[in-house]
Amino acid sequence: MRLDRDRIRDLARERGYSLAGLLRSADVSRTAYYSLVRRPSVVPGTVRALARTLGVPAREIFRDDGGSAIERGALRVTEARAICRNAAGASFDGVWHALCLLDLPPIERLQRSLTRGRATPLHR
Amino acid sequence: MGAPPPFTDREADFLRTLLEEGVEFLVVGAAAAALQGAPAVTQDIDLWFANLSDPRLLRALRRAGAAYVAPTLQNPPLLVGGGAELFDVVVHMHGLGSFRQEARRALRLRVGDLELPVLPLARIIASKKAAGRAKDLAMLPALEDALRALEARRRARTGRSARGRKPRR
């Protein structure tokens, strides 16, 4: 399994990062990044050896237990807490929801706003 | 299945026509706030035009099969027909500079295949504070929290601290 450069670039763009900005924020050097994306496989050799011996692709011996979504959520909680710590009057709920929306592309943010606005007479 | 697009084809065509004709406008209000990540809800999209008698605007309206209805005692300024009903005409933004001053600070946000000029969230907040209507004031806490989140993300992207300095490595 290779790193998907296009996917990384698209996700970065959706979140307003240039590639350089993404690497800086992630504290990943350009050398490390390009070394990873050029590798034919980022799966460790031991895992590939196990998969090869079992006669299955490496991805078949990974378990996806939703950890990535939980990890994203946990990172967002930390981020929201840090923002609230540094801003008097900030509400965790408000910051949290804004961070969730910032992880979506603008068109989806607008779509949510209009759908809910049309469905909720209170906000008319 | 993905979320449905926020615009119908006709509404998207209307915006595209405004952009192609070079009409000077900004997306403002709650829709502009939502585009920037604020959890704001709205039924329509407010457009602030530099000049309502601009021939390019009139040409764009004709191309889209829409028309401008001037304000009277009974109605505010309106756009009708051609998928333009989703859009409200804004003629004045409380507490802000002229259209040209504000347009210089505008963001350009990609919405589908369109790149729309959008009033920055900080300016939307300034305008809502100045307008002072109950419904504007009620939105302020959510908008201010969104601005905090937005600025924190921006600082993270640029590597700047809250005081605008780059941290030493």
Q: Is B15 exposed, middle or buried (0-12, 13-18, 19+ CB in 10 A)?
A: buried
- Give yes or no for a contact between B122 and B102, defined as CB atoms under 8 angstroms apart: no
* pLDDT computed for residue A124 by the predictor: 44
Which residue of chain B has the CA closest to A87? B148
- Residue numbers in A near B39 (CB within 8 A): 94, 97-98, 101
User: Cβ B3–A112 below 8 Å, yes or no?
Assistant: yes
- Give yes or no for a contact between B40 and A113, defined as CB atoms under 8 angstroms apart: yes
Q: What is the DSSP string of A6-64?
A: HHHHHHHHHTT--HHHHHHHHT--HHHHHHHHHSS--S-HHHHHHHHHHTS-GGGG---
Worst-scoring range by mean pLDDT, A97-111, B55-69, B153-167?
Answer: B153-167
pLDDT digits 0-9 by tens, B85-108: 889 999 889 999 999 999 999 999
- Give yes or no for a contact between A102 and B37, defined as CB atoms under 8 angstroms apart: yes
Token pair listed for B23: 């009409």
CB B134: neighbour CB atoms within 10 A? 6
pLDDT at A10 over 90: no
A13 versus B68: which is more confidently predicted? B68
* pLDDT computed for residue B169 by the predictor: 44
pLDDT digits 0-9 by tens, A49-62: 998 898 888 888 88
- Give yes or no for a contact between B28 and B48, defined as CB atoms under 8 angstroms apart: yes
CA distance B115 to chain A (A): 11
pLDDT digits 0-9 by tens, B11-43: 888 999 999 999 999 999 999 999 999 999 998
pLDDT digits 0-9 by tens, B40-78: 999 899 999 999 989 999 888 888 888 889 888 888 889
Strands (E), chain B: 25-28, 45-49, 67-69, 78-80, 87-90, 107-111, 114-118
pLDDT at B3 over 60: no
Give the mean model confidence (pLDDT) for residues A89-110.
93
Worst-scoring range by mean pLDDT, A30-39, A64-73, B83-92, B122-131?
Answer: A64-73
pTM: 0.76
CA geometry: angle B150, B116, A93, nearest 5 deg: 25
pLDDT at B145 over 90: yes
The interface predicted TM-score of the complex, written ipTM, equals: 0.85
* pLDDT computed for residue A120 by the predictor: 63
Which residues 122-151 in chain B show a CB within 8 A of chain A? 141-142, 144-146, 148-150
